[in-house]
A = this chain, B = another copy of it.
Amino acid sequence: MVGVDDEATVRIPGRLLSMAEVAEALCQAHDGLARLRDNGNDHRQLPSRGALVEAVDALRSVLFPGYVGEPDVRREGLLFHLGATLDRAIRVIREQIERGLCFSGCLIPDHCPTCAKRADELTAQFVARLPEVRRLLATDVQAAYEGDPAATSPDEAIFCYPGILAVTIQRLAHELYVLGVPLIPRILTEHAHSLTGIDIHPGAAIGERFFIDHGTGVVIGETCVIGRNVRIYQGVTLGAKSFPMDAEGHPIKGIPRHPIVEDDVIIYSGATVLGRVTIGAGSTVGGNVWLTQSVPPGSRVSKEPA
């Protein structure tokens, strides 16, 4: 292994490379990541994080007008602002979906008409889901207000709670994930992860009235299925235990490998649930519990006392 001392001797060579030599060396790197130097790929742009972040903020202001975005919209102008913001967000999302499609598989360098058409269709399907996303989020906000003694109003939950922010973005990303949009859903949930410390894979299917309190360190895996009225605290992991390898020793992708959490379950801080196990409806999982097997409905799982 490499130690600090060994590094130091390697590190300061006899002749220092000039800036131009370093630029040349980085430009010539031949290690499979030099995306720009591939032939077919040359002209395709990766999705833009910045554009997606703006679009997701716009969608949040459309879902929660008055709470997010322009603060002084009044009733008589509301529909106009909603429509304009939505229209702008949709165009950005559509462009990013097209980039995602092109980047992830197509071989035509510029303006592939197939990807453009597919992006149109996927965007239309995504947009049509927004009222349902809004409906779900309203239940989440109510659950947050009811489940936290420190909450003084549902407004405060919308306005301040990282759990609401993370779930809002995940519900949007999940719609794109279900539609098969590549790359974009993950960019969105990683944005939420960076802001909140809550890492919910866009693949996770989550029922209504979902509440995450505090939230830092929560990890919810790709194939999780979560019922309605579930409450989770900071540091909870709903993860995979291990994953089967294929013949060449690579993990097989896409197999259900994360927990199913049924309705009305509470999981306290720091608990870890691993594998395709089922937490039965109405169960409570105590803080710091380590759980790798299914439990029947109504269970109370807790750590042995200290």
Q: Is the CB of B216 within 8 A of A125?
A: no
Query: Contact: B257 with A274, CB < 8 Å?
Result: no
Residues of B within 8 A of A81 (CB): 83-84, 87
Contact A155 B35 (CB under 8 A): yes
Whether A156 lies near B128 (C-beta < 8 A) is no
A66 — which chain B residues lie within 8 A by C-beta?
35-36, 46
The count of residues in chain A whose C-beta lies closer than 8 Å to any C-beta of chain B is 151
Contact A252 B149 (CB under 8 A): yes
Q: Identify the closest chain B residue to A272 (Cβ).
A: B287
Q: Considering the complex, give the chain B residue whose CB is closest to the CB of A245.
A: B149
- B237 in contact with A234 (CB, 8 Å): yes
A214 to B272, CA, bound (A): 14
Instruction: Flag if B234 contacts A7 (CB, 8 Å).
Output: no
| Closest partner residue, chain B, to A103 (CB atom) | B155
Complex CA gap A225/B3 in Å reads: 7
CA distance A45 to B255 in the complex (A): 46
Q: Which residues of B contact A255 (CB under 8 A)?
A: 149
Whether A301 is near chain B, meaning CB under 8 Å from some CB there, is: yes
What's the nearest-Cβ distance from chain B to residue A27, in Å?
A: 5
A46-B159, A135-B31 given as contacts; is B217 within 8 A of A82 (CB)?
A: no
Q: In angstroms, how far is the closest chain B Cβ from the Cβ of A291? A: 6
In the complex, A106 has a CB within 8 A of chain B: no
Which residues, 48 to 100 on A, are CB-close (under 8 Å) to B?
Answer: 48-49, 62-67, 70-88, 90-91
| Alpha-carbon distance between A27 and B87 when the two chains are bound, in angstroms | 14
Residue of B with least CB distance to A249:
B146
CB atoms of A270 and B237 under 8 A apart: yes
13 pairs across A/B with beta carbons < 8 Å? Answer: A4-B205, A13-B128, A20-B80, A22-B131, A76-B87, A80-B82, A81-B83, A84-B84, A156-B183, A160-B183, A162-B190, A214-B219, A235-B270
